[in-house]
Amino acid sequence: MQNICGLDFGTSNTISTVYKGGKTIMVPFENNNKSLPSSVFFPFEAIDKPIYGDLATNTYVNNGYGRYMKSFKRILGTQFFEQRTALKPGTNIFFHDIIVNYLKHVKEKTEDFLGGETDYVVVGKPVRLSEKEKGANSGITQLESILKSVGYKNYSFLEEPIAAAYYHKEKIDKNSLAIVADLGGGTCDFTVVGINEDKKDLNILATSGISLGGTDIDSNFALEVFFPELGYKTIDKFKGLTLPALPYRQASDWNKITTSLYTKKTEFLVRKMINNAKYKEKVVQLKSLIENKKAHSLLNQIEQTKIKLSDAKELMFSSEFLSNINLTISKSLLEDAINGVISKIVATANDCCLEAGVNEKSIDYLILTGGTSKIPLVKQLFKETFSKAKLIENNSMDSVALGLLEKAKKDANL
């Protein structure tokens, strides 16, 4: 095999790694970035020429006229996979084809860099996308369908935390235990591994995963801290009942914005809510957000606020989508809003240890990967849970992709 590749298709970003000239290299995308954000923009004036990555987001945010989508990997394993969505009146596309076209773009960039067709690729998958799932609607079956449509002829799968373990195994002492926490945008996945005497391979003791990640943290942060300004958890003027939460949950979720928010059904519900609302002016802002298809823009602002709070105790937030109200957002507000999600993620790591038959205190190494691991509260809770373990977090955004290539090299005897 001449051209081998590791493909880390992520909810937030995608990385393609190759072995070229005897070196492991991450394929450069736009502006020589080593990752490509999992986002797409369909310009109305050229609907058949979608734009990907940061360019897609920037075009949309700067009032580009078209349809924007992000984090579409989470459509895998759902009923939306074989459904259509409207790009503009009279033009529809299957969600399956959105993912296929995005990965075709990744494959073309990779093969342009390699100077030839991909002979073999190892593709990362969340633990929950298991081969044990049955039927055409399972996530793994859908992912296989995508890879075949993209044009990959020879491929295999590897759970993402195991890929990260492959990358880091040389840093781990022999005869020791490690837990790998791959904390991504759509899922958080774990593996407990033992390192053999000769370090030639890994002893996989257990894996576990949960369909929660950075996108769910964004959603909770939006709902609890920002969306009350749009009428979330406010009451109607007749019976004092709380207004329906459904459109707010749709507007706070990257995936549900794409699949469910911009529909006649949701628009009808919001108009009804305005008629009933005690604080009508708040819900009118939600209606405007939906009509102008700007929910992604607001959620992007909220995500950036989350990221900035990693280094700040508090900051001021203002947005044209919230009547230019200035909000003081503190790190404690963020942590209170997301603590429930993070607790479930840590509990899944504990379950992995239980399945492996080991105690958390017997773990020698804690390996953190993925963008969600950058959140201070996440790192703190994992360090407290695995208090005896040495922390490894270098190359946290790249280790899965690099580990996938290590497995591809092993399979190809390179």
Band of the pLDDT at 132, cuts 50, 70, 90? very low
Cα 57 → chain centroid: 15
* Tally of domains in the chain: 1
Is the residue at 174 inside a domain? no
Query: In whole angstroms, what is the distance from residue 224 CA to residue 221 CA?
Result: 6
> Does 200 score more than 50 pLDDT?
yes
Kindly state the average pLDDT of the residues 227-235: 94
Are the CB atoms for 73 and 99 separated by under 8 Å? Answer: yes
- For the chain, give the percent of residues with pLDDT over 90: 76
Place of tokens 């504990």: 350
Residue range of the domain that includes 23:
4-160+401-412
Q: pLDDT confidence of 17, banded at 50, 70, 90?
A: very high
Whether 386 maps to a domain, the answer reads no
pLDDT in tens, 281-336: 999 999 999 999 899 999 999 999 999 998 899 999 999 998 867 899 999 999 99
Report the distance separating Cα 96 and Cα 73, nearest Å: 10
pLDDT, one tens digit per residue, over 36-84 is 999 999 999 999 999 999 999 999 988 889 999 999 998 888 888 889 9
User: What value does the mean pLDDT take over residues 7-14?
Assistant: 95
pLDDT attached to residue 130 = 46
- pLDDT at position 64 is 84
Residue 169 has pLDDT above 70, yes or no: yes
Q: Determine the Cα–Cα distance for residues 193 and 165; give it in Å rounded to an integer.
A: 8
Residue 378 has pLDDT above 50, yes or no: yes
9 domain residue, yes or no: yes
In a domain, 209, yes or no: no
Judged by phi (left if over 0) then psi (alpha if -120 to 50, else beta), residue 178 lies in: beta
**Dist CA 284 CA 271 (whole Å):** 8
What's phi and psi for 39, nearest 5 deg? -145, 155
pLDDT at residue number 394 = 86
Whether residue 63 lies inside any domain: the answer is yes
For the residues 201-212, what does the mean pLDDT come to?
90
* pLDDT reading at 123 higher than 80: yes
In a domain, 271, yes or no: no
Domain holding 78: CATH number? 3.30.420.40
Note the pLDDT of residue 57.
93
| The pLDDT value given to residue 136 | 55
Residue 180: both structure tokens together: 């790998």
pLDDT of the residue at 134: 53
- Is residue 385 one of the residues assigned to a domain? no
Provide, rounded to the nearest whole percent, the portion of the chain with pLDDT above 70: 96
Q: Which segment of 114-118, 160-164, 321-325 scores lowest on mean pLDDT? A: 321-325
334 located within any domain: no
**Res 372: pLDDT:** 92
What number is the average pLDDT over the span 339-356?
A: 95
Mean pLDDT across 335-359:
95
Cα separation values, 170 from 176, 253, 405, Å:
12, 38, 15
For residue range 233-280, list pLDDT tens digits in order.
Answer: 999 998 899 999 999 999 999 889 988 999 899 999 999 999 999 999
Q: What is the pLDDT of residue 131?
A: 41
- Average predicted confidence (pLDDT) for the chain: 91
